[in-house]
Structure 1
C-alpha cells in the first residue's frame, strides 16, 4: 500500500506553537492521563511484589507481562478499526472503565484470600487489563490531534508524555508505601483513580473528525500496517524503540534487585520503580520547553544508545544510590526517543487512519513493555538476573548503531515541524 499523504485539514485556529495547555480539552485529557497512569503504576508495583512473594519466581514476574501482552496482540488490528470508525471518546471511556473494574476485582480477590490460594488468577485479571489497553492506546493517540491545533501538537506530545512520566514518578513510590497496608489497599486506590480518569474523559470535547461506521475487512484492518510500511522513517522509529526496550527491560526484574541484590524492600522497590520516570519527567519538561530543534533522528538514535549504557550500569551496580541514578538515566534517555517517535507519528499520519496506525504503534509499545517483561524473566531464569540485564543493555547499544545504517531515512530527519 502506498503511503498516505498527511492531513492538513483542521477546524481549530492555528495559534502560536507551544501552548497546548490553553485548550480546555487538553487539560482534561492530561489530568485523565495522570490519574490513569498513576493507577496503573501503583497496580504494577503491587502485582509485581505480590506475585514474587507468592511464587518466589522471576519467571512468574515475566508471565505477568506475557498475559497482559497476548490480548493486546490478538486485538490490536480490531482495536484500530474500532477507533477509526467509532466515537474515540466513547472508546476511551469503555477501555479505561474496564481497567477500573479489573483492578477492583484484584482488590476483592486479594481481600478474600483467593490470590494467595491461587496466584494464577492474577494472570486472568491482567489479561483483561491488556485487552482494555489494546483499545486505550490507539484511542489516546488518535484523539490527541483533535484536542489541539497542528501548531501545538509537538508541545502536546511532550506534555502528554510528561503526564505518563509524572504518574510514573509518584505511582510506584505511592504504591510501595501503600503496600505496607496490604495489596488490597493499593488496588482499591488504583480503581478510584481510574474512576476519576473516566470522569475527565467524559468531559472532553474534541473537534469533530470525519468518521463513519465501516465494515470490517482485511484491507481496513491492515491499513495501519500498510501506512507504516510505506513510511520508512516511522517504521524505523517504531521498531527501534520496541527492540531497545525489549532488550533492556531492567525494570521488570526490579522485585528481584530490590529484595535479593540491593536489599531495600517493597518501599525501596517503589522508589527504584519511580526513578526512570524522574529522569523521563525532567527530560520531557526540557523537550516541552525547548523541543528537539535539529537532527531529531540522530537524537533518537543517541537516546537509545544512552538507554543501553545506563541499563548496563544498573545491571552491574550493587549500590542502591548508584542504581537509582542509573534508572534515572534510563528514563531520561528513553524519553528522547519516545517524544521523537510520537511527534513523528502524530504529524505524518492522516486523521482517517490514526486509530489503525495508533493500534500498530501501541502493539509495538506493548511488545517492548509487556513482552519485554516476559523476555527478561526468561533470560534471568536461564542466565541469571545480572547477566540478563547487562546483555540487554549491550544489545540496545548495538541496535542503535545497526538502525542508523538500516534506516538512513530515520537518521536524516532534521526538524520535526517540517513534517507537517
Structure 2
C-alpha cells in the first residue's frame, strides 16, 4: 500500500476553495448562533427560550430532510449551494435589523423574540439543504481514493470555523454589540457566495433524474437502514448528541453559574471545538481505520464523562478543560462517522443518505437543545447536564453490548480498496 499523504486533498485547488467557502459560512453561522442565544437569554432570562430556539430549527430541518436529499441528488451541486448561501445571507440581514436600535427601540420584546424565532425556523429549513449539498459536493471535488482524507479536512475546517466563530462571537458581543456582530456575519456570507463561483459546475451523477419522489426517498431510507455500519454509527451519535446538548445552555452557565460574561461565554463555546480540531488534525496522521468501532465507542464514552464533569464544575478553568475534552472525543467520533458515510455511500445517493444523517444527528442537535433547555428549567442546569452525560454513558454501554457490527467495525479493507481506485 502506498505511503499515506496527510495533505492529499489539499493539493486540489477547487477543494481548497471549497474549504475556504465552508469556513466562512460556518464561521458566520457559529457566530450568529451564539449571538442569538446570548440575546434571547438576555431578553427572557428563561432557559426554556434557548430550548425553543432548537425546536424552531428542528421542525423544518427534520420535516424537510428527505425531500432536500432528493432535490440534491437531482440537481447540480455548486449552484444549489449558491442558492442556499444567498438565502442564508437574508437570514443574517434580518437578524441584524431585528437587533438594531431602530427595531428594539420601537418593537415590544415579544415581537422581537417571535421574529427571531421565525428567522431561526427559516434557517432550519435552509439547513436541511446545506448538509446534503456540501456532503455531495466534496465527493465531486476529489478522487475516491482520498475520500477519507477529504472528509477529515472538511470536518476539521468545519470545527475550526465553529471554534473561531464561537470565540469571536463572544468577544464581538462585548466589543461592538449584538447588531453589528450580526452585520459582520452578513458580510462574511456574501463573501463566501462570491468565492463559491470559483468552483466550476459539477456533473449530476444520478442516473435516475426525474425518478418519482416517493420512490427516490424510499430507496435512500432503505439503503441506510439496511447498512448496519451506517445505521449503527448514526444511531449512536444521534443519542449521544440528543442527551449531550450542553452547548444550548452554555449561556446559562456563563451568566448565572460561572459568571464570566460574554468573553467567558465565547471561550466556553470555543473550547469544545478547539478539542475537536486537535484530534481531527491528528487523525490525518494517525489512521482510524483499525478497530474503528471500538474507537468510536470509547470516544463517545469519554464525551459523556466530560459532560458530567462540566455539569458538576463551578470553576471556570475546570469547565473549559471538561469542554475541551468533550470536543476532542466528539471530534474522533465525527471523523469516524463521516469516513463511514463517504466510503460506504454510492455517488448517486449521497444527497439522500446525507439527509438521513441530518435527520439522525443534525436534527438531534436542535432536539437536544430543546431537551437541555426544558430539563434546565425543570431540574436546573447542573442536573440537566449531569443527566445528559449519564444517558450518553448508558447509550454507549448498551450499543457495545447489543450491536456487534459497530463493536467489531474495521475500515481497513474499505480504505485500502478505495486507494486502489
- Residue 9 of structure 1 is matched in structure 2 by none
- Residue 4 of structure 1 is matched in structure 2 by none
| SS of match in other structure, 1:91 | helix
Do the aligned partners of residues 182 and 243 (structure 1) sit closer, same or farther apart at CA in structure 2, a change above 3 Å counting?
Answer: same
- Residue 42 of structure 1 is matched in structure 2 by 31
Which of 35, 42, 52 is equivalent to 1:63?
Answer: 52
- Residue 7 of structure 1 is matched in structure 2 by none
Tell me, in whole angstroms, the C-alpha distance in 2 between the residues paired with 1:21 and 1:199.
Answer: 21
Structure 1: state its 5+ residue gaps.
Answer: 1-13
For residue 291 of structure 1, report the CA deviation from its aligned partner: 2.1
Which of 261, 271, 290 is equivalent to 2:286?
Answer: 290
The aligned runs of 1:387-406 (5 Å cut-off) are 387-406=383-402
Do the aligned partners of residues 365 and 174 (structure 1) sit closer, same or farther apart at CA in structure 2, a change above 3 Å counting?
Answer: same
Do the aligned partners of residues 255 and 151 (structure 1) sit closer, same or farther apart at CA in structure 2, a change above 3 Å counting?
Answer: same
CA contact (8 A) 1:25 1:206 kept: no
| SS of match in other structure, 1:292 | coil
| SS of match in other structure, 2:284 | helix
- Residue 89 of structure 2 is matched in structure 1 by 100
- Residue 79 of structure 1 is matched in structure 2 by 68
CA contact (8 A) 1:54 1:116 kept: no
Structure 2: state its 5+ residue gaps.
Answer: none
CA contact (8 A) 2:76 2:202 kept: no
- Residue 187 of structure 1 is matched in structure 2 by 182
CA contact (8 A) 2:70 2:213 kept: no
- Residue 195 of structure 2 is matched in structure 1 by 200
TM-score of the two chains, using structure 2 as the length reference: 0.93
For residue 230 of structure 1, report the CA deviation from its aligned partner: 0.6
CA contact (8 A) 1:110 1:184 kept: yes
For residue 173 of structure 1, report the CA deviation from its aligned partner: 1.5
- Residue 369 of structure 1 is matched in structure 2 by 365
For residue 363 of structure 1, report the CA deviation from its aligned partner: 1.8
Do the aligned partners of residues 15 and 302 (structure 1) sit closer, same or farther apart at CA in structure 2, a change above 3 Å counting?
Answer: closer
How big is each residue's C-alpha offset from its partner over 1:355-383, in whole Å with a ceiling of 9 and x where there is no partner? Answer: 00011111222222111100101111111
Number of residues paired by the alignment?
407
Tell me, in whole angstroms, the C-alpha distance in 2 between the residues paired with 1:145 and 1:35.
Answer: 20
For residue 209 of structure 1, report the CA deviation from its aligned partner: 4.0
The aligned runs of 1:4-403 (5 Å cut-off) are 17-18=5-6, 19-111=8-100, 112-114=102-104, 117=109, 118=111, 119-180=113-174, 181-205=176-200, 208-211=203-206, 213-403=209-399
How big is each residue's C-alpha offset from its partner over 1:262-305, in whole Å with a ceiling of 9 and x where there is no partner? Answer: 00011110111101000000001001222214101110010100
For residue 31 of structure 1, report the CA deviation from its aligned partner: 0.6
| SS of match in other structure, 1:146 | helix
For residue 405 of structure 1, report the CA deviation from its aligned partner: 2.2
| SS of match in other structure, 1:163 | helix
| SS of match in other structure, 1:210 | coil
Tell me, in whole angstroms, the C-alpha distance in 2 between the residues paired with 1:15 and 1:356.
Answer: 33
For residue 94 of structure 1, report the CA deviation from its aligned partner: 1.1
CA contact (8 A) 2:77 2:202 kept: no
For residue 197 of structure 1, report the CA deviation from its aligned partner: 1.8
CA contact (8 A) 1:77 1:222 kept: no
CA contact (8 A) 2:303 2:326 kept: yes
For residue 25 of structure 1, report the CA deviation from its aligned partner: 1.1
| SS of match in other structure, 1:290 | coil
CA contact (8 A) 2:80 2:133 kept: yes
For residue 90 of structure 1, report the CA deviation from its aligned partner: 1.4
How big is each residue's C-alpha offset from its partner over 1:115-156, in whole Å with a ceiling of 9 and x where there is no partner? Answer: 763211111001111111100000111111111111211111
CA RMSD of aligned residues (A): 1.6
Tell me, in whole angstroms, the C-alpha distance in 2 between the residues paired with 1:332 and 1:261.
Answer: 24
Tell me, in whole angstroms, the C-alpha distance in 2 between the residues paired with 1:15 and 1:126.
Answer: 46
How big is each residue's C-alpha offset from its partner over 1:42-100, in whole Å with a ceiling of 9 and x where there is no partner? Answer: 10111011000111100000000110111111211110010000101111111122111
CA contact (8 A) 1:32 1:197 kept: yes
Tell me, in whole angstroms, the C-alpha distance in 1 between the residues paired with 2:92 and 2:351.
Answer: 26
